[in-house]
């Protein structure tokens, strides 16, 4: 058996660590790229949302490389995402692939359910070993999130642009290789220290821009055309509350902070959107209300035809909060030039607004 | 009398008799928006972002036309109708979206209908919904029972007498008799698959069903199949229901692929999220049954009547030729 799975940001780290520890063979599809996108688009229904197409592309590449067992999230409350696996399995079979599709309801199951699944895949490793491996995997995830927060801060004000991004890449590798908790801790400390040592211009007070929206496009840099790196290049500090580690409920329960953060966002959304609409629509509305006074602007990421984000987009203009929101829609065209132009214009606008309000406050 | 407005769009086609009975029993006057017109669509579209699906745009136009006509508008947030399945995001967020985009919208009655969470919550929601009309729980109970009865009657008319919603509503005296010209003896049977608010809003689909009937086609829809049959076909094709209305698309499609029909037409509204996947499943299955001619139509606000008619005629001709050649 060789397991493979579609990518989601840096979540690979967890599965890699897990399966390496348990001696499960795996095939890692190449990171999202033009080719996997083209493959996905070719075999997907035309009007399905982008994450479907990209994850299908990963699956095809994983199978081509010899994978025979696909791991995929499913389950209710996930909007179309929860239905992806059903249709993707059919598409892959129609293409003639032979494989097992293992779905896991990440949002509902307790850690036990996931542990059982992993145990099965590992051919019956003792549960204690499975739990230890899962724990290490999740610890890697949260270490990465901590490092990423530091990267966001440094990127905006580093003197030589690109160093933070390079360190981030190295950190991902180091964390990936850590084989136990102490190694992981060391790698994390090491990179946080290195990031803190990057030469920065302390005189700059960077604009703070929140990045939010549908989780897949927020977390998968290929899908959002590296919007965070681009914002960093423009001297903007990215603020993001969505991290891979928040994505699963069981890690939410390891991470109480994530829960309260989410509840706070929902409460903020209440006057405009009273209920969960699946996906991340509720959070998107909440973030606008919540951060109207703490950030200079918000970049709202949404896949083309994304249902919950269309709800959010329709509601946002009615929010009585004075904060500019730039909605960027990701589709398979990946029009990078257009995205950059809009981003630059947006950042200019934020600068002008800030100067005007400073001038107002002084004068 | 307090006037409750009901937009003639989305779930209207499935639940109007139920809703009407409920509010009438509570002593309210029910006002329904007039059938869809060009201006309903234009006002609707102009209020929401362009990516929004056509049926929600239409809904929005209908609410707009109710402004000033009623004291409340009824827009439930329908999250689930049974355990395990969920509705499309747009149904859940509908009242909130409408509040945000329709200026001067009358107060919205927006109960949360989430039957997956159990009956108790549902009864509470009904009780809250009734607050503007009565505080008496017994009155609410009586109204709910009457409402359920008229829903059963409505469904029965469709299942057992083979009526489409507009005809069934007419039978119940809730709509003027539609001038369906009695089609002559039908020469073929075609199943038309789609959400009721797409199939039975005659303006947005350019009278698709009536046209087919005019061409000598007997049209069958999900409403005419038994619920158990739909559920069974759905299970065979896609496993447990994931979407609230999966049975009327995947279930009905699968059902008619195994019945004595000559063709299947699926009608999808532009921008529909769930259908992008459900119709794909159906299409894949249809390919395995080449004896049934399958055609998929997508409808948006710019769909030209002439183009649609041409496609329908070509399709019907093709089936006719096929039938004659065997
Ligand atoms: S949230 Fe958006 S992108 Fe994600 S599954 Fe739903 S529609 Fe697709
Ligand atoms: S099911 Fe499709 S057509 Fe209906 S509201 Fe949702 S997206 Fe729109």
CATH of the domain at A77: 3.40.50
Place of tokens 């549908």: A214
Residue numbers in B near A91 (CB within 8 A): 280, 284
| Distance between CA atoms of residues B81 and B88, nearest Å | 12
Nearest ligand to the C-alpha atom of residue B86: 2
Together in a domain, A269 and A362:
yes
Domains recognised in chain B with CATH numbers: 3-157 (3.40.50.11890), 179-325 (3.40.50)
Distance from CA of B93 to the nearest CA of A (A): 6
If asked whether residues A360 and A239 sit together in one domain, one would say yes
Diameter of chain B measured on Cα atoms: 67
Residue B182, pLDDT score: 64
| Parallel, antiparallel or unpaired: strands A3-4 and A100-104 | unpaired
**What is the whole-number distance in angstroms between the Cα of residue B216 and the centre of ligand 1?**
41
Say yes or no to pLDDT of A157 above 80. yes
Across the interface, do A87 and B277 touch by the CB < 8 Å criterion?
yes
Say if residue A245 is in the same domain as residue A165: no
> A241 and A363 share a domain?
yes
Q: Which residues contact A151 (CB under 8 A, 6 or more apart)?
A: A164, A165, A167, A168, A195
Protein residue closest via CA to atom 5 of ligand 2: B90
| H or E element, residue A337 | helix A336-362
Give A78's strand partners. none
Calculate how close chain A gets to B157, using CA atoms only, in Å: 33
* Count of domains for chain A: 3
Do A348 and A224 share a structural domain?
A: yes
Range list of β-strands (E), A221-282: 236-239
Atom from ligand 2 closest to the CA of residue A307: 7
Helix (H/G/I), strand (E/B), else coil: A26: strand
Instruction: Give the largest Cα separation in chain A, rounded.
Output: 72
Atom of ligand 1 nearest to the CA of A217: 3
Stretch B263-288: mean pLDDT: 96
**Å from B91 to nearest chain A CA?**
8
User: Same structural domain for residues A213 and A354?
Assistant: yes
**Lowest mean pLDDT segment, chosen from A49-58, A183-192, A316-325, B182-191:** B182-191
Same domain, A257 and A349: yes
Average pLDDT of chain B is: 93
Residue A353: pLDDT over 60: yes
* Same structural domain, A6 and A18: yes
Find the residue in B nearest to A82 (Cα). B242
Q: Which strand (E) or helix (H) includes residue B310?
A: helix B305-325
Task: Give the residue-averaged pLDDT of A276-287.
Answer: 93
Range of the domain at A184: 133-155+157-203
The last residue of a domain, from among A81, A105, A124: A124
Q: In Å, how far is A302's CA from the nearest CA of chain B?
A: 11
pLDDT band at A249 (very low <50, low <70, confident <90, very high): very low
pLDDT for the residue B181: 63
Under an 8 A CB cutoff, do A307 and B280 touch?
no
Judge whether residue A42 has pLDDT over 80: yes
Looking at all shown ligands, the one closest to residue B245's CA atom is 2
**Nearest protein Cα to ligand 2, atom 2:** B272
Could you give phi then psi for residue B201, rounded to 5 degrees? Answer: -90, 100
Better-scored residue on pLDDT, B244 or A40: A40
Of A105, A124, A143, the last residue of a domain is A124
Find the distance separating the first CA and the last CA of chain A, reported in whole Å.
70
Closest-CA residue of B relative to A281 is B89
- Do both A349 and A217 map to the same domain? yes
Instruction: Tell me the ligand closest to B300's alpha carbon.
Output: 2
B93 lines ligand 2 (CB under 6 A): no
- Same domain, yes or no, for A164 and A227? no
A234 & A196 share domain? no
What is the ipTM score, two decimals? 0.93
Q: Which residues, 6+ apart, have CB-to-CB distance to A94 below 8 Å?
A: B284
Cβ(B200)–Cβ(B13) below 8 Å: yes
Instruction: Please list, in sequence order, all residues whose beta carbon lies within 8 angstroms of the beta carbon of residue B38, skipping any fewer than 6 positions away.
Output: B203
What would the pLDDT profile of B296-305 be if each residue is shown by its tens digit? 999 999 989 9
Q: What is the share, in percent, of chain A residues with pLDDT greater than 90? A: 72
The SS3 call for residue A165 is helix
Nearest neighbour of B96 by CB, restricted to A47, A76, A315 = A315
The tokens for A24 are: 């499960």
* Residue-level pLDDT at A115: 76
- Output the average pLDDT for chain A: 90
Q: What is the pLDDT of residue A345?
A: 98
pLDDT value of position A172: 95
| pLDDT for position A250 | 44
Query: Between vectors from CA B94 to CA B90 and to CA B97, what angle results, nearest 5°?
Result: 105
3-state SS assignment for residue A280? coil
A190 and A221 housed in the same domain = no
- Residues A197-224, mean pLDDT to the nearest whole number: 95
Question: What average pLDDT does this structure show over B35-45?
Answer: 96
The pLDDT of residue A166 is above 90: yes
Whether A302 shows a pLDDT value over 60: the answer reads yes
**Predicted pLDDT of residue A256:** 45
Residues whose CB falls within 8 Å of the CB of residue A204, separated by 6 or more in sequence, listed in order: A156, A157, A235
* pLDDT classification of A45: cutoffs 50, 70, 90: very high
Contact check, Cβ <8 Å, B100/A317: yes
């Amino acid at each position: 058996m060789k397991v493979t799975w579609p990518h989601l940001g840096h979540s690979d780290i967890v599965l890699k660590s897990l399966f390496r520890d348990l001696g499960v063979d795996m095939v890692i599809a190449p990171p999202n790229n033009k080719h996997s996108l083209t493959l996905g688009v070719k075999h997907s229904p035309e009007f399905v949302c982008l994450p479907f197409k990209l994850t299908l592309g990963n699956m095809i590449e994983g199978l081509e490389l010899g994978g025979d067992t696909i791991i995929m999230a499913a389950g209710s409350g996930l909007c179309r995402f929860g239905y992806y696996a059903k249709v993707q399995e059919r598409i892959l079979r129609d293409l003639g692939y032979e494989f097992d599709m293992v779905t896991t309801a990440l949002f509902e199951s307790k850690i036990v359910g996931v542990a059982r699944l992993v145990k099965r895949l590992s051919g019956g490793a003792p549960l204690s070993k499975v739990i230890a491996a899962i724990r290490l995997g999740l610890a890697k995830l949260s270490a990465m999130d901590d490092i990423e927060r530091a990267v966001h801060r440094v990127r905006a004000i580093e003197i030589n642009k690109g160093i933070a991004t390079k360190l981030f890449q190295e950190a991902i590798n180091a964390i990936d290789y850590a084989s136990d908790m102490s190694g992981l801790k060391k790698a994390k400390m090491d990179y946080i220290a290195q990031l803190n040592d990057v030469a920065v211009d302390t005189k700059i007070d960077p604009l703070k821009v929140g990045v939010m929206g549908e989780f897949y496009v927020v977390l998968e840099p290929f899908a959002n055309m590296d919007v965070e790196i681009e914002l960093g290049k423009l001297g903007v500090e990215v603020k993001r509350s969505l991290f891979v580690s928040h994505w699963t409920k069981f890690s939410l329960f390891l991470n109480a902070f994530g829960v309260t953060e989410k509840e706070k966002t929902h409460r903020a959304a209440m006057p405009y959107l009273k209920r969960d609409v699946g996906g991340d629509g509720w959070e998107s509305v909440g973030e606008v209300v919540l951060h109207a006074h703490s950030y200079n602007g918000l970049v709202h990421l949404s896949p083309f035809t994304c249902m919950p984000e269309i709800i959010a987009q329709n509601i946002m203009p009615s929010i009585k909060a004075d904060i500019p929101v730039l909605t960027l829609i990701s589709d398979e065209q990946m029009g990078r030039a257009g995205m950059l132009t809009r981003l630059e214009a947006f950042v200019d606008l934020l600068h002008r607004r800030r100067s005007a309000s400073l001038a107002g406050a002084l004068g | 009398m307090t006037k409750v407005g009901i937009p003639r769009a989305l779930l209207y086609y499935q639940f109007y008799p139920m809703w009407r009975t409920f509010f009438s029993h509570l002593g309210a006057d029910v006002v329904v928006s007039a059938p869809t017109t060009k201006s309903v669509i234009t006002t609707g579209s102009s209020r929401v972002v362009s990516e929004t699906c056509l049926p929600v745009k239409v809904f929005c136009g209908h609410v707009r036309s109710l402004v000033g006509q009623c004291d409340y508008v009824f827009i439930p947030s329908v999250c689930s109708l049974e355990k395990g399945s969920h509705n499309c995001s747009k149904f859940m967020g509908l009242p909130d979206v409408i509040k945000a985009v329709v200026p001067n919208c009358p107060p919205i009655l927006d109960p949360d209908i989430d039957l997956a969470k159990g009956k108790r919550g549902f009864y509470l929601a009904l009780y809250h919904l009734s607050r503007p009309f009565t505080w008496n729980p017994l009155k609410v109970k009586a109204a709910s029972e009457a409402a359920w009865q008229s829903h059963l009657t409505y469904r029965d008319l469709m299942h057992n007498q083979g009526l489409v919603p507009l005809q069934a509503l007419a039978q119940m005296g809730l709509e003027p008799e539609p001038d369906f010209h009695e089609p002559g003896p039908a020469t073929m049977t075609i199943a038309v698959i789609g959400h009721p608010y797409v199939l039975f809003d005659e303006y947005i689909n350019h009278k698709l069903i009536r046209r087919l009937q005019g061409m000598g086609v007997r049209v069958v829809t999900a409403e005419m199949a038994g619920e158990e049959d739909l559920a069974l076909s759905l299970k065979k094709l896609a496993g447990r229901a994931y979407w609230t209305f999966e049975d009327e698309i995947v279930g009905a499609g699968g059902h008619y692929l195994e019945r004595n029909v000559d063709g299947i037409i699926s009608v999808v509204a532009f921008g529909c999220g769930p259908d992008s996947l459900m119709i794909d499943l159906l299409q894949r299955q249809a390919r395995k049954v080449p004896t049934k001619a399958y055609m998929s139509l997508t409808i948006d606000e710019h769909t030209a009547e002439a183009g649609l008619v041409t496609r329908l005629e070509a399709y019907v001709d093709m089936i006719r030729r096929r039938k004659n050649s065997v």
